[in-house]
Amino acid sequence: KAGVTQTPRYLIKTRGQQVTLSCSPISGHRSVSWYQQTPGQGLQFLFEYFSETQRNKGNFPGRFSGRQFSNSRSEMNVSTLELGDSALYLCASSFTGGSTEAFFGQGTRLTVV
């Protein structure tokens, strides 16, 4: 079965712009989590969506937002981009979230210049 698909793979934006990233989970998975990965900080949790509802949220500013559609696809939006937002953004899907194994997409590499 198809894995987790994230688009685009690479993105270059300038400060102040906004960006939308997309994640299509594995078919049948209803939980989608988003993470930011940087060399110094490791994986930082952004938020989790389950059945179109945000179930958990990490400690990121309001510029980071997301949503989930009825087909479980999820989007993440970052507004007013800052240089520090440059990172690898990973999406992970799982059947119910929590204790079940999560499957990661290849990520979107965002560079803010």
Partner 1 sequence: GQNIDQPTEMTATEGAIVQINCTYQTSGFNGLFWYQQHAGEAPTFLSYNVLDGLEEKGRFSSFLSRSKGYSYLLLKELQMKDSASYLCAVKSNYQLIWGAGTKLIIKP
Q: Using CB under 8 A, list all residues that contact partner 1.
A: 4, 33, 35, 40-45, 48, 55-56, 58, 90, 97-99, 101-107
Nearest-angstrom CA–CA distance, 24 and 41: 25
Nearest-angstrom CA–CA distance, 110 and 65: 16
Comparison of 26 and 79: residue with beta carbon closer to partner 1: 26
Which letter does DSSP use for residue 89 in this model?
Answer: E
Nearest approach, Cβ of 17 to partner 1 (angstroms)?
Answer: 25
Nearest approach, Cβ of 44 to partner 1 (angstroms)?
Answer: 7
Nearest-angstrom CA–CA distance, 33 and 93: 6
Comparison of 45 and 79: residue with beta carbon closer to partner 1: 45
